[in-house]
Structure 1
Amino acid sequence: MDIQSNRVYDQTEDVEVKDTAHQISSDSWLQVAFVLTTGINSAYVLGYPGTVMVPLGWIGGAGGLVLATIISLYANALVAYLHEYGGQRHIRYRDLAGFIYGKKAYALTWALQYINLFVINTGFIILAGSALKAAYVLFKDDDMLKLPYCIVMAGILCAIFAISIPHLSALGIWLAVSTVFSVAYIAIAVALSLKDGLNSAPRNYHIPGGGIGKVFKTIGASANLVFAYNTGMLPEIQATIKEPVVKNMMKSLYFQFTVGVLPMYLVTFTGYWAYGSSSDTYLLNNTHGPVWVKAIANITAFLQSIISLHIFASPMYEYLDTRFGVKGSALKAKNLLSRIGLRGGYLTFNTFVAACLPFLGDFMSFTGAISTFPLTFILANHMTLVAKGDKISSLRKCWHWLNICFFSLMSLAAAISAIRDISVDSKEYHIFADL
């Protein structure tokens, strides 16, 4: 694709905007804030007591989450301030990288971003399928409904939802629905964790493992800290916000990293307090309570995952709709057929990978290491240096280079750790496993 073609102009500002089939400058800062918050408080949070706190302990886990909040807010702010750099509104991450560095960086950024988002989307389908199976097992543990079947059902519902919602801005009321679902499973998980914690013997908070294995687990957990906050698609989300773009985006980011992170903190710390080193990678597996209450938590986690996936898949939908000229009403016959074919095909492949590799967590760690770190931290700092190098002080330049070097090392270490985990776990699991 020629990154210099198909341009239109934003009528409210003298800023050049590239052509897109999706809406630009249509959403309030609060709606965008809820898009960001929906991603943070997805059902992934139910795994943080096990995947973050257990390998890091109280000091490393709690301190790391707070530090990751601050660092992530800073890195996202850097990208947000570049949104209108050079007299153009960069509505896609690859457009921004291409404008600053050239066509090779455009292609590389595109590849990294879509690999990252594809794996995240696949993870959401696995998460939805796992929640659906967990709800079924509460009532009938007959081994009839296997995880791959649940993943297929989740994929079908994700496709129906994707076909019905034309673009990110059209989520509208569904963001409120998603918030209700998030509050439901987080509140239930916290309440049951508190009950179990108050009624159980003293827990063991010792960090498990030893030697080189413990080192790799610590590195992997540290990578999960920043993965929890970052998507690698901030320009695509910022593209939907109303003018003034940067000011409103900063409002959304401040909301996300102050109010939006509180539920995640609550479920993570409460879950680890209640179960200690035995915390499962899906918190509801630890809890004890009425079957119907746990069923509600699992069903709401299942449904919320479908909405969350739509957010992270929206850059792919935008590309497909723009490439094939799919615009207008979702119910228009031509558009409906196009979305069935394009989005349905994309999610069919997602679902196949999800059913084939339900132990995707290790692969997520690897793609996060080679894409989330570069897109969110390394590129954000380096693009700022290139774009504003003459306007910033020597001290600030040193700060940006320190971030670039540190996160490059973290990216390398996290990638090595993930490869090791993939090697170890591949001996235990098999494709289409019923976990």
Structure 2
Amino acid sequence: MEPRSHLSSPQIFDSGEEEEKEARRLLAEEMEFPEGNGVVGGDGKVHSDYHLDIEMPDTAHQISHDSWFQVGFVLTTGINSAYVLGYSGTIMVPLGWVGGVVGLILATMISLYANTLVAKLHEFGGKRHIRYRDLAGFIYGKNAYALTWGLQYVNLFMINVGYIILAGSALKAVYVLFRDDNDMKLPYFIALAGLACGVFAICIPHLSALRIWLAFSTFFSLVYIVVGFSLALKDGINAPPRDYSIPGTKVGKIFTIIGAAANLVFAFNTGMLPEIQATVRPPVVQNMMKALYFQFTVGVLPMYAVTFMGYWAYGSETSAYLLNNVKGPIWVKTFANICAFLQTVIALHIFASPMYEYLDTKFGIKGSALAVRNLSFRILVRGGYLAITSLVSALLPFLGDFMSLTGAVSTFPLTFILANHMYLIAKKNRLSFLQKKWHWLNVVLFSAMSAAAAVAAVRLIVVHSTTYDVFADL
């Protein structure tokens, strides 16, 4: 990527030695390097003397192409994916009315704040950091680059595991509506879902190529959210009083509440904000802020609506997939489940795109998407990745537990801990004493929450693994 134009103007370096030093100091200050660490190289670019081992590679994917509105819909697709059909059961049931409502509102505000911190660092140091790991490596060094890439890979892989479980569950729900013979079990539907996701991944070369599919995704989301909301409202009006108490033993409640806190942060965060921001047109930061405000205002309303309505209608009996609770015409439920399946295929592609971008860039997959080499590469590599993801999904189809574990081990560190600490390091010369303490408080608080949530999520998976066999038919 080329630096901003005012960095490459050679005339500022044609003065005497004192003027050159002053120019370097001013450039370093403008580009937000700590004084003494900003160095102007012979190519006229600003470098950091402790980040020279981290270079931002080229990308095989399209960048700087999309409007903020399209990027806003990419973010909204993630927040209103078929995962929203589980939040009544995985967030509201463990937390109850007070904890669930307050928790969702707080998670919305905190997530917007944390994502804003990351978005504002996108052009830090005179470079566009189009990958989360590039930004972390630029600020901290080579080890942080590798650690962040590992965390992000785990985060996106587990999100994709959950998506394939969701897609398989939606297909099974359609089957159960018409057949009760139980011949087709959940693992079979997970395999079919993985195949569909693989075909879509082969056909869509990069994130910007989604375009019209984002409109389809929005339509699919509205269908299952409206159907879930409407049928739950009808059931709730006709149902006897519900039990809203938090289920479980005293010890069990503690672990499920902690796990639900991880689900809260999971609901709002992508773990790949720089990768999404890379697709937006300049001015990058301003446009990304518009997309984030769209996501956390208009974008969260459908999720709020279906989550609260589902819990109101079914109380502590709400399942981890709301469409399994609702009663109504078979054709309506079938249409909603098919839409949930199709939207999940699109949403999974978004969260798999950083892995695709890495592999395409590493192996030089550029040019026409239909070129024999490029098409063959996508079939083998993306197909193989989704085959492994589908296998893990079928082995451990515990959707709520995977949401908790993902939030604990990767979403907390990437979105909250790392975001606050990176901003603290990058802006330390411009932050007041109270601002620095505030960011350190966030780092410590979210680190503690991440550790507790990880323990709770692992415990839930172990408990469920002893109850069900592998390839369980849930």
Question: TM-score range, shorter-chain basis?
Answer: over 0.9
- Structure 2 residue 261 is matched with structure 1 residue 268: no
Structure 1 gap segments, 5+ residues each: 1-7
Q: Which residue does the alignment assign to 1:425?
A: 464
Q: Which residue does the alignment assign to 2:210?
A: 171
Q: Quote the Cα distance in structure 2 between the aligned partners of 1:264 and 1:381.
A: 26
Q: Which residue does the alignment assign to 1:366?
A: 405
One of 315, 326, 329 as aligned partner of 2:365 = 326
Q: Quote the Cα distance in structure 2 between the aligned partners of 1:125 and 1:367.
A: 15
Structure 1 residue 288 displacement after superposition: 0.6
Q: Which residue does the alignment assign to 2:265?
A: 226
Whether the aligned pair in 1 keeps the contact of 2:243 and 2:315 (CA below 8 Å) is: yes
- Stretches (4+) displaced over 3 A: 10-18
Q: Provide, for residues 366-409 of structure 1, a one-character-per-residue CA deviation record: whole Å limited to 9, x for no partner.
A: 23212110100001010011111011111111110111111011
Structure 1 residue 363 displacement after superposition: 3.9
Q: Provide, for residues 80-123 of structure 1, a one-character-per-residue CA deviation record: whole Å limited to 9, x for no partner.
A: 00000001100000000000000100000000100110111111
- Structure 2 residue 148 is matched with structure 1 residue 97: no
The percentage of aligned residue pairs carrying the same residue is 70
Q: Provide, for residues 148-171 of structure 1, a one-character-per-residue CA deviation record: whole Å limited to 9, x for no partner.
A: 111111111101100100100000
What are the equivalent positions in structure 2 for 1:133-282 lying under 5 Å apart? 133-282=172-321
Structure 2 gap segments, 5+ residues each: 9-44, 46-55
Q: Sort the Cα spacing of 1:361 and 1:198 in 2 relative to 1 into closer, same or farther, 3 A.
A: closer
One of 352, 357, 373 as aligned partner of 2:396 = 357
Amino acid at match of 2:2: Y
Q: Quote the Cα distance in structure 1 between the aligned partners of 2:6 and 2:176.
A: 55
One of 269, 283, 290 as aligned partner of 2:329 = 290
Q: Quote the Cα distance in structure 2 between the aligned partners of 1:304 and 1:417.
A: 30
Q: Which residue does the alignment assign to 1:69?
A: 108
Q: SS of the residue aligned with 2:467?
A: coil
Whether the aligned pair in 2 keeps the contact of 1:129 and 1:302 (CA below 8 Å) is: yes
Structure 1 residue 18 displacement after superposition: 3.7
Whether the aligned pair in 1 keeps the contact of 2:428 and 2:436 (CA below 8 Å) is: yes
Q: Sort the Cα spacing of 1:246 and 1:23 in 2 relative to 1 into closer, same or farther, 3 A.
A: same
Provide the aligned C-alpha RMSD in A: 1.4
Q: Quote the Cα distance in structure 2 between the aligned partners of 1:149 and 1:389.
A: 53
Amino acid at match of 1:43: A
Structure 1 residue 14 displacement after superposition: 5.6
Q: Quote the Cα distance in structure 2 between the aligned partners of 1:282 and 1:367.
A: 18
Structure 1 residue 134 displacement after superposition: 0.5
Q: Quote the Cα distance in structure 2 between the aligned partners of 1:381 and 1:215.
A: 27
- Structure 2 residue 372 is matched with structure 1 residue 379: no
Q: Quote the Cα distance in structure 2 between the aligned partners of 1:13 and 1:171.
A: 34
One of 125, 132, 145 as aligned partner of 2:171 = 132
Q: Which has the larger radius of gyration?
A: 2
Q: SS of the residue aligned with 1:413?
A: helix
Whether the aligned pair in 2 keeps the contact of 1:113 and 1:371 (CA below 8 Å) is: yes
- Structure 2 residue 152 is matched with structure 1 residue 113: yes
Q: Provide, for residues 2-38 of structure 1, a one-character-per-residue CA deviation record: whole Å limited to 9, x for no partner.
A: xxxxxx4268786986400001100000000000000
Whether the aligned pair in 1 keeps the contact of 2:223 and 2:339 (CA below 8 Å) is: yes
Q: Which residue does the alignment assign to 2:436?
A: 397
Q: Quote the Cα distance in structure 1 between the aligned partners of 2:449 and 2:386.
A: 31
Structure 1 residue 353 displacement after superposition: 1.2
Whether the aligned pair in 2 keeps the contact of 1:125 and 1:354 (CA below 8 Å) is: yes
Q: SS of the residue aligned with 1:9?
A: coil
Whether the aligned pair in 2 keeps the contact of 1:166 and 1:329 (CA below 8 Å) is: no
- Structure 2 residue 362 is matched with structure 1 residue 302: no
